[in-house]
Amino acid sequence: MRTAALRTAKWTPATRATETHHKLHNTGDKHMQIAFIGLGNMGGPMAINLHKAGHTVKAFDLSKDACAKVAAEGVTIAASAEDAVQGAEAVVSMLPASQHVEGLFLGRDGAAGLLQRVAKGALIIDSSTIAAATSQKVAKAAQAAGIAFIDAPVSGGTGGAIAGTLTFMVGGSNADLERARPLLEKMGANIFHAGAVGAGQTAKICNNMLLGILMIGTSEAIALGVANGLDPKVLSEIMRRSSGGNWALEKYNPFPGVHENAPASKNYAGGFGTDLMLKDLGLAQENAMAVKASTPLGGMARAMYAMHSIAGNGALDFSSVIRSLQKNG
């Protein structure tokens, strides 16, 4: 299901609550005060893992249901985004798209951006998947306000978010990455420094373009085998152990009943929504046009997910694309 889109809270510009220059270097296992904005299928488990690690987490999402799920695990829910960041040493955001991140931190429709409320010296870790240019724009404004910023999108799915085994692709300075590392290590198992601010986003859209292509190819192969009477479990295992092996076959099979905990076995509920995959494939195509890179398969994948979404499947997990490849009746 799609992560709840967060709009910027309606506050008036005010003096930052505190001008304290927080020292986050060499924090090790020091317990910190963290604001977490965005509690969807990925953000919720990430916030919970930080809470379980002993950090003081104050979280916010526009979705009351999302807040309730996180609150049930002991995480404090803030009344608003600006309330969440009061006194925070680090702010973690996990939002659906570029406009949400820009609106949250820089403001829109006359509302002040969250950068006016975050304390100087604090660190923003944005784990949303957005355009690299947006990350760079927000980072520039944050730097002017005396606030550190890194883009740190993730891979690993909802299972990885729950287990704390996500892969982080980080864009930012070495120093800011090291400040963030103690927190990232509580949410993920792999941390890669891709380069300067925006590089994490570029790495993520490359990864998700490949994931979208692989899911379609995997779905085509399984649908073909089933149409010929093959058992999808047997076929999937054959391909998994052969040259066609990939992440979808290993952990996220698109055919119902093959993987008990995959969204496919839960009527494609939860997981990573079709519309989110469509958004990421769109980002990849925009980037490819900007740098004049050839991505024909990425373009075809985007077109297929667009048709799948138009058919009413936008809120379903992206692996539901197999339905558009199966015989009816």
The residues assigned a catalytic role are 204
3-state helix, strand, coil in the chain (%, to 5): 50, 15, 40
Cα–Cα distance between 263 and 160 in angstroms, integer? 14
Phi-psi region of 170 (alpha: psi -120 to 50; beta: other; left: phi over 0): beta
Contact 161, 133 (CB under 8 A): no
Cα–Cα distance between 216 and 288 in angstroms, integer? 20
Burial pattern 251-280, b for ≥16 Cβ within 10 A else e, equals ebbbbbebbeebbbeeebebbbbbbbbbbb
**Tokens read off for 250:** 């290993």
**Tokens read off for 140:** 């520039």
Q: Helices in 152-273 by DSSP H: which ranges? A: 157-163, 174-187, 199-227, 232-240, 247-251
One-letter identity of residue 6: L
Phi-psi region of 320 (alpha: psi -120 to 50; beta: other; left: phi over 0): alpha
